[in-house]
Chains A and B, each alone.
Chain A
């Protein structure tokens, strides 16, 4: 990461009433990066994106794209960024084609001039170009919004939760499109509440309550997870949930267990102890004494969601 920063957020603060949406956030993004902002609603992702795209002014701090200041040079900033807001905000009563032409014209360009850039995406909705945008399915609206955000050939693409509420397959296809855009040299900032999408980014910022929990490559974040992680399963999940209750430092019998959370068909337990074999034996005996059968316990590598859970504030603050 010795390449110079292209997008810089310096000590950004933003407050809405009594809510601190962003508490002193600083991040550098490198040119050409696919950078993910991962966190739940209320983390501050949208506010950060609105500041970068010059739609909201920060209370303190500064942000730059290259040498452009998002406050002073807002007109140039708007030319060099393409923004896809979280909520569908194209014109429902214009057709697909009309929306695209409208956005091209606002930026003093034409669909024809930049067609190459959007062809991969637009081709998929072109058969419906005479349909009004309001009548499109969710997936098609998303593709049209992305086409409109790209039509002026921006250097930076800012996508606010493009995959929220989208099914697993369409999400996968959308990320493939983003990779293609990245290959064309566009720097991409994308936010998502889906932790599993972190692995598709070059680097990610994990965010919660207006603060950064971690900023790094997904692999490095996973590597910095402290403790040994075990995945546990038995023949009765409902019993397992009460015998291994979720939370932090919740198992009286196992003071070394720092967190217990369910992941799909398994329960993940983190131990701050090196003696994995001993723990597995103790845990197996404990579960047997509670009447569990077909007990499976195996050491596993953490995923981003394990890391996020470990880095989060205590639930009491929620």
Chain B
């Protein structure tokens, strides 16, 4: 039996899928590098965290990629979740090496094709406010919560003056409140007001969306963290856009402009959808 186990162990690498690498959001051949471990993105049903909502707990890395854009990560997704991990890295411009199982080879190939079709653009990240990130763990967790709630925060060391500033310790956003990042994020949301948020997501709490826009063109990435396809996810994004080009997922539906915002529906997607909107 021991011989058999050794034999299986020896053969396993031959059957494994080649790692999938993403650099700054683009699939690339893998190169050796020092990497920091990151989690397999998923929904964690076991986590019991005090929360202002009963929203599912999404384990995601998008905020991490945005917080540390030059850091290289590594994810062991051989047990599953590799396609989602890759989609998340593409959506959030991450640099990551993903160990994948053979079962996800087809999904990764499809994702690679979708990413290859995606035109290279240089669009700024849409943000509603700047969050002063002092580098502490609690600040990171708050950035995580902002991302999970699709609140468009730009983490900064020093405010630029271009956007409203959110800082732990300002007014009602006390240090005590920050110990519960979920409550803190909700307090910020109330301060902003839902109507003035540049991004809203309806029809699911399982998706995290990233928006890049210069006002003339917007790129909207959506990553599904659940194991079921998402149907009818409705997006509201700042800007009036009338044309669309979908690169992953079907063409969006029910595209309407309303009062300086555009709304549309991703009809159905498994893990990743991305659409470019133009005026």
Answer whether A and B are interacting partners. Answer: no
The residues of A with any CB-CB pair to B shorter than 8 Å are none
Give B contacts to A, CB under 8 Å.
Answer: none
